[in-house]
Amino acid sequence: MSHEDELLPIPAHLDPAQGAAIPEAFLTAADALTTRGRVARGERVLIHAVGSGVSTAAVQLARWMGATVVGVSRTASKLERAAPLGLSETVLLGPAGFRPGLSAPVDVILDYLGGPALAENLSALKPRGRLVLLGTLQGPEAPSINVGTILRLRLEIIGTVMRARGCPERVPLIADFAARILPAIAPGSLAPVIGARFPMTEVRAAHAAMEQNSVFGKIVLEW
């Protein structure tokens, strides 16, 4: 299949930069929540790194799907900015982790932290909960965990990454997204969150902003 099969139309009310902020953030979030996490209406969903581009999309999508959404961040200001997107609960990630600030276990977790957070993530899941791993910001190695917890609670650990997929796997996902979710991207419903725009000539500054983790939402390069 050709790359043309992966194109999405830009909704009429969005400018090109806003359109560019939809994939891969919304595609990654939609796949993680629906296909991988199988989120159902009324479930509790915890989303780590809630100020990232994918997470700002995931918060909106989870709320749109009828879930109760918990956001986790190490930055209080990002939690405040994410709350209007659809958070019902916010948790500040501190030296003791996020679990002390969580009011109740959750059904699904979207995690970018990786191995060091694995044990705490598992401890925050309800029976038959699903942990969807999307990144390893804190490293890939996990400390020792009690696998008996996974067995006893029938937990699932699901790994997923979008960029490693070829066209045969991506095209059906994009077609489903275009049919079910793209029409809902409208003011007051779902919308890409752009934290910063840089001209292509300032690509190094854009990378620096990303590395500093200071931007809330997507970073977009413009020609």
Cα–chain center distance at 112: 8
List, for residues 122-156, the tens digit of each pLDDT value: 999 999 999 999 999 889 998 888 899 999 999 99
Neighbouring-strand partners of residue 69: 45
Mean pLDDT of the chain: 94
How many angstroms separate the Cα of 135 from the Cα of each of 46, 72, 184? Answer: 15, 15, 27
List, for residues 179-197, the tens digit of each pLDDT value: 999 999 987 789 999 999 9
> What per-residue confidence (pLDDT) applies to 2?
52
For a pLDDT cut of 70, what percent of the chain falls above it? Answer: 99
Give the least confident one: 56-65, 160-169, 196-205: 160-169
> What per-residue confidence (pLDDT) applies to 173?
93
Residue type for position 90: T
> What per-residue confidence (pLDDT) applies to 1?
45
Burial category of 144 from C-beta neighbours within 10 Å (exposed 0-12, middle 13-18, buried 19 and up): exposed
User: 206 Cβ partners below 8 Å, 6+ apart?
Assistant: 196, 198, 219, 221
User: 187 Cβ partners below 8 Å, 6+ apart?
Assistant: 13
Per-residue pLDDT for 49 more than 50? yes
- Domain 14-223 carries which CATH code? 3.90.180.10
Give the least confident one: 1-10, 167-176, 196-205, 206-215: 1-10
Greatest distance between any 2 Cα atoms in the chain = 54
- DSSP summary character for residue 10: P
In this prediction, residues 73-91 reach a mean pLDDT of: 97
In this prediction, residues 145-174 reach a mean pLDDT of: 92
> What per-residue confidence (pLDDT) applies to 165?
86
pTM of the full structure: 0.94
CB 149 within 8 A of CB 123: yes
Structure tokens belonging to residue 104: 């109740």
Give the residue extent of every domain in the chain.
14-223
Q: Which of the pair, 164 or 222, is modelled with greater confidence?
A: 222
List, for residues 12-43, the tens digit of each pLDDT value: 999 999 999 999 999 999 999 999 999 999 99
* Residue with the two structure tokens 């806003």: 18
